[in-house]
Structure formats: C-alpha cells, structure tokens
C-alpha cells in the first residue's frame, strides 16, 4: 500500500507506431525533473504511467507540482495503490480519502475496470464502495450529477488505485520528440512565452541573447539567464548563448541611416542566430514577435528580416494580443522577471522615427554600405555558451 502518482498522457495516445518513442522520451523528461526529490520508479500500467516513490519521506506535493510542468501529460493524480482485493479497498479507501471527504458534502464513486477478470463489475464496485464511504463519513450525501468530489476506483493490471480526481497537466507533447530550435530571447515578456509554446509542441530549445555592454548591464543579462532557468522547468535544459553585440551596433549607428537602425540590427541578429543554430543542429529560429506590436514587427519589417533567413522562423505569438501573452507569462512565472526594468540592446540607439514600412531594396542597399561580415565572425567566435537547468 503506497501513495503514487498516476499520469494520463494526452496526445501521445494518438501517435500510433511512434507511440513508444514518445512515451520513452516522456519518461526520461519526468525522471529528470523528479531526480532531485529522490528515487522513483515509473512504469506503464495500461496507457497510464504510474510514478512510484521508492524511498520514505519523498515530497509528493512537490513531485506533482513538477510533473504538472512536463509536456505530454494531460492530467495527473495522486492515488493510493492497493492490491486488487475489495476487502483491502474497503478497509484502506476511507482512511486514505478522509482528508478530502471530511471537507466536502457530496460525492460519487466511479469505477474503471481494465482487468476484466476482477470478480466485481464497475456498477457493483461503485455501489459497494459508495456504501462503505457513507458509513465511514455520515455527513456525506451521494450526488451523481454535481458531486463535490468524484472518487475513482481503478482496477488495472497489477494493482487497484483509489483517488479523488485529477489535476490538469501541461498538455502538449514531450520535449525532445520534435527536434531542436534556437530561441532569440530578450529580457521582455514575449520571447520566453514563445519559447514555452514551441517547447510545448515537442521542440527542445537553445537560446541566444545579444548583449551590448556598456549600454546594457550585467543585470540585464542575469535577468535573461533567470528567465531561461524559469523556462527550463517546462522546456528542460536550455543551452544559453550570449553574443557580444556592441561593436556591431556601433557600426550600424555609424554607417547606416538612422530610420533603418532597428531593421538592420534585426537582420544581423538573424544572421548570427542562424550560424549558431546550424552549429548546434537546430533546424529553426523562434522569436517573440507579435504582428504590429512595434515598428520592427509590421509585416513589411518582417519581410525585411526574413530576407536574410534561410531557416524557418517560428513566431508562435504572432497573432496574439499583449494581454494573451501576459496571461501565459504569468502562468509560467516569467512575468515578474520580464518586467524588471533593465535595458535591452534593442533599445540602444533606437531611432526617433523608425520606418514602419521599410522597403526591402533600400534596406539591403543600406546594409551593403558597410562590410559587417568580419564583425559577425568575431561576435560568433566570442559567444559564451552556458547550460541552464531549472531552479532546484
């Protein structure tokens, strides 16, 4: 008899022949997040994963909290695992459920019997176990339509499980099943959300951040590293690349027309990012651009940016309003960090009147006025590479 966590995986169930590899990746991702809490065994119990602590005193609340951030899990619940013997279920069930049932007024019992050799059928389990609970908790009433709590009895291959309903999981598909992408991360609200969204669809992430000291401070960079650590609770390990960008920005300032500063800077960022992506085996870039949010995110500006991109640029928040992006940032706990008031290199030398409808030919011609190539090489050479893990 032991408390465990049951995992209902979501879309993986639809994956047909690939199902096995998705499930294996999910289990690896779960183990990585649980490992600091102690030893667990994870095994498959008929389309449901069962997470079993192998040590005394493991913090299951924390385990559930961590698992709620692992993509590929639709729902999860703490449950009591007992032998498949109704006498034991009757005896142990009320004790296990007391904490919950003492605080509600109505309940119902549902049973799921995937082991068809179990001698009682589902309606009988519900009826009998419901009776046991009514006797143990005389304040309770049965309400089959709108119960405060639905008690589940699941009879599976090796064990029976008793629980009182599930919690939502993070959804999505397991990180690492969809290849690698490189996120351009600023200290803002949007790019961490963009990274989270692509990770949710199974991509593992690298992140690149451009810094321009002394115009941008060490604290601004630390803020971005903190954002990566917060994202890593969902996205798994993130390899962080920090690119020194000061010289390039100064060269743009000195050699390009002011109203095109931002757009040229963004093109050069993309060029560097693609090189890093290629070196790391990432197949796409990810940005936090949202259509029309600022001058560099109009459709014409995006045409100019994408002109230098040979790999796909994924922009998952492109059609979202700020409020919608903020809601996700709050949910994933990056918002409070993102709004810390440190400078970003994008706000260094910002033109007073940036072009909102830049013409591609004009941008290309302006950029060609100066040979940026050696500086780009130098920046790539001096890029720092760090591994970011979730805060323990």
- Within 8 A by CB and 6+ apart from 72, the residues are 9, 10, 11, 12, 22, 25, 26, 29, 169, 170, 172, 173, 174, 175
Among ligand ATP, Mg ion, none, what binds residue 329 when CB lies within 5 to 8 Å by partner kind? none
Q: What is the largest CA-CA distance in the chain?
A: 85
Q: How far is CA 166 from CA 50, 64, 75, 147, 185, in A?
A: 14, 11, 6, 14, 34
Smallest gap from residue 375 Cβ to ligand ATP (A): 16
Binding mask 328-367 for Mg ion (x = CB under 5 A): ----------------------------------------
Q: Find, among 293, 220, 283, the residue nearest to 262 by Cα.
A: 293
Closest CB to Mg ion among 72 and 188? 188
Closest CB to ligand ATP among 151 and 301? 301
- Quote the crossing angle between the two packed helices 360-367 and 261-280, to the nearest 10°: 80
Among Mg ion, ligand ATP, none, what binds residue 195 when CB lies within 5 to 8 Å by partner kind? none
Closest CB to Mg ion among 81 and 186? 186
Among Mg ion, ligand ATP, none, what binds residue 184 when CB lies within 5 to 8 Å by partner kind? ligand ATP
Q: Phi/psi of residue 310, each to 5°?
A: -95, -20
Kindly state the tokens that stand for 129. 């176990």
Among Mg ion, ligand ATP, none, what binds residue 294 when CB lies within 5 to 8 Å by partner kind? ligand ATP
H or E element that contains 5: strand 2-9
Say how many residues make up the chain. 392
Rounded Cα distance, 214 and 193, in Å: 27
Smallest gap from residue 387 Cβ to Mg ion (A): 24
Smallest gap from residue 145 Cβ to Mg ion (A): 49
CB distance 97 to 133 below 8 Å: yes
User: Binding to Mg ion by residue 186, rule CB under 5 A?
Assistant: yes
Smallest gap from residue 109 Cβ to ligand ATP (A): 48
DSSP notation for 199-223:
HHBT-EEEEEEEE-TTTS-HHHHHH
Closest CB to ligand ATP among 154 and 190? 190
Closest CB to ligand ATP among 189 and 232? 189
Smallest gap from residue 301 Cβ to ligand ATP (A): 9
Closest CB to ligand ATP among 81 and 383? 383
- Within 8 A by CB and 6+ apart from 303, the residues are 360
Rounded Cα distance, 180 and 175, in Å: 9
Smallest gap from residue 17 Cβ to ligand ATP (A): 35
H or E element that contains 152: strand 149-155
Smallest gap from residue 178 Cβ to ligand ATP (A): 19
Closest CB to Mg ion among 53 and 188? 188
Among ligand ATP, Mg ion, none, what binds residue 345 when CB lies within 5 to 8 Å by partner kind? ligand ATP
Smallest gap from residue 284 Cβ to ligand ATP (A): 13
Kindly state the tokens that stand for 392. 């323990």
Kindly state the tokens that stand for 192. 């961490």
Among Mg ion, ligand ATP, none, what binds residue 191 when CB lies within 5 to 8 Å by partner kind? ligand ATP
Torsion of CA 71, 77, 78, 79, to 10 degrees: -130
The single residue among 53, 72, 130, 188 that binds Mg ion, judged by CB under 5 A, is 188
The structure tokens 């909102």 sit at: 356
Q: Which residue is nearest to ligand ATP (CB)?
A: 188
Chain contacts with ligand ATP (rule: CB under 6 A)? 184-186, 188-191, 208-210, 287-289, 293-294, 296, 344-346
Closest CB to Mg ion among 186 and 199? 186
CB distance 175 to 33 below 8 Å: no
Among ligand ATP, Mg ion, none, what binds residue 289 when CB lies within 5 to 8 Å by partner kind? ligand ATP
Smallest gap from residue 55 Cβ to ligand ATP (A): 41
Q: Which residue is nearest to Mg ion (CB)?
A: 188
Binding site for Mg ion (CB under 5 A): 186, 188
């Amino acid at each position: 008899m032991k408390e465990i966590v049951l995992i209902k995986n979501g879309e993986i169930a639809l994956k047909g022949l690939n199902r096995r590899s998705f499930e294996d990746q999910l289990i690896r991702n779960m183990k990585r997040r649980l490992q600091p809490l102690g030893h667990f065994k994870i095994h498959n119990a008929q389309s449901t994963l069962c997470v079993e602590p192998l040590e005394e005193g493991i913090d299951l609340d924390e385990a559930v909290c961590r698992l709620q951030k692992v993509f590929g899990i639709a729902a999860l619940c703490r449950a009591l695992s007992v032998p498949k013997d109704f006498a034991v279920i009757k005896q142990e069930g009320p004790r296990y459920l007391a904490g919950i049932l003492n605080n509600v007024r109505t309940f119902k019992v549902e049973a799921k019997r995937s082991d068809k050799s179990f001698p009682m059928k589902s309606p009988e389990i519900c009826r009998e176990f419901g009776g046991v609970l009514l006797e143990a908790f005389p304040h309770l009433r049965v309400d089959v339509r709108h119960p405060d709590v639905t008690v589940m009895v699941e009879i599976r291959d090796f064990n029976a499980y008793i629980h009182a309903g599930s919690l939502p999981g993070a959804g999505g598909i397991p990180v690492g099943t969809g290849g690698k992408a490189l996120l351009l991360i600023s200290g803002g609200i949007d790019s961490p959300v963009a990274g989270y969204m692509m990770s949710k669809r199974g991509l593992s992430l690298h992140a690149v951040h451009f810094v321009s000291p002394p115009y941008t401070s060490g604290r601004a960079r630390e803020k971005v590293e903190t954002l990566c650590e917060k994202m890593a609770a969902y996205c798994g390990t993130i390899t962080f690349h920090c690119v020194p960008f000061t010289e390039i920005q100064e060269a743009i300032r000195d050699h390009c027309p002011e109203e095109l500063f931002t757009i040229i800077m963004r093109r050069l960022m993309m060029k560097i990012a693609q090189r890093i992506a290629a070196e790391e085996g990432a197949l796409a870039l990810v940005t936090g651009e949202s259509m029309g949010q600022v001058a560099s995110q109009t459709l014409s500006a995006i045409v100019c940016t994408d002109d230098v991109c040979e790999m796909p640029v994924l922009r998952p928040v492109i059609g979202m309003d700020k409020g919608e992006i903020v809601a996700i940032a709050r949910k994933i706990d990056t918002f409070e960090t993102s709004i810390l008031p440190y400078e970003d290199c994008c706000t260094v030398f910002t033109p007073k009147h940036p072009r909102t409808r830049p013409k591609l030919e004009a941008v290309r011609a302006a950029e060609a006025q100066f040979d940026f190539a050696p500086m780009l090489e130098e920046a790539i050479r001096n890029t720092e590479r760090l591994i970011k893990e979730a805060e323990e």
